[in-house]
Chains A and B, each alone.
Chain A
Amino acid sequence: MTETISLALFSGTDDKLTAAATMATGAAAMGRPVKVFLQFWALDAFRADRITKDHGVAHEAGPEGAAALRRLDEKGVHWSELLRQAKEIGDVEIAACAHSMEMLAIGRHDLDPLVDDVIGIAAFMAGVNGPVVFI
């Protein structure tokens, strides 16, 4: 039961990041190592200066879904805080995709301290020992 959970985060909207952070937190709580790889818009959401800003919701949410998420946000904790808690209680590594860093012109110092490293896809795959969940 110690198989690593590998999450490739692509989407940068708050609903998808909340779902991903919940999964990472649950895995960490149950003693599973978690490896997170941030690509494209998910990486953009981890910029230190805007990590807690409004990142919108996925298109399929619609206005009602968006309103439901806002209500949840008022009671719950932000996805970045969930990830912080997950790192505190378990083995959770968050890496930024080097290619996306270049594409979005993001430097290491622009990223929130939640991000442990900047790596390439092969380095990420080297640590994968099961399926990759793509969100």
Chain B
Amino acid sequence: MEATQVQETIDARGMPCPGPLMSLIGTIRRSEVGTVIEVLSSDEGSLTDIPAWVSKAKQEMVEIVTEDGFTRFMVRKAR
């Protein structure tokens, strides 16, 4: 499998809800369409919140990877 080209990484590990999501929203707003942003979150809420927002905001979830003690969400700015 070809590795996804991540342009920006947000390390939101340790941040409580809704911190990781808010960091993602802020970064997406500043980025150009097509940019892939990666968020690292250890907040359980992110597992439901980030996919819910990505779907609502019509962005694109590229990949969700479970790591040791945190989750890696890769999101492409689609619009």
B15 interfacial contact with A, CB 8 Å: yes
**Main SS of chain A's interface residues?**
helix
Known: A30-B52, A30-B53, A89-B29. A25 touches B15 (CB 8 A): no
- Chain B residues closer than 8 Å to A26, beta-carbon distance: 18, 49
B40 interfacial contact with A, CB 8 Å: no
Contacting residues of chain A (20-72) with chain B, CB-CB under 8 angstroms: 22, 25-26, 29-31, 72
Q: Do B22 and A31 touch across chains, with their CB atoms under 8 A apart?
A: no
**A94-B18 Cα distance, complex, nearest whole Å:** 20
Q: Do B18 and A22 touch across chains, with their CB atoms under 8 A apart?
A: yes
Shortest CB-to-CB span from B31 to chain A, Å, is 14
Known: A89-B25, A89-B29. A76 touches B56 (CB 8 A): no
Across chains A and B, the number of contacting residue pairs, with CB separation under 8 Å, is 36
Interface size (A, Cβ < 8 Å)? 14
Question: What are the interface flags for A77-104 relative to B under an 8 Å C-beta threshold, 1 for contact and 0 otherwise?
Answer: 1000010010011000000000000000
12 contacts between A and B (CB under 8 A): A25-B18, A26-B18, A29-B21, A29-B22, A30-B53, A31-B56, A76-B16, A76-B19, A82-B18, A82-B22, A88-B26, A89-B29
Spell out B's residues near A (CB within 8 Å).
14-19, 21-22, 25-26, 29, 49, 52-53, 56-57
Spell out A's residues near B (CB within 8 Å).
22, 25-26, 29-31, 72, 75-77, 82, 85, 88-89
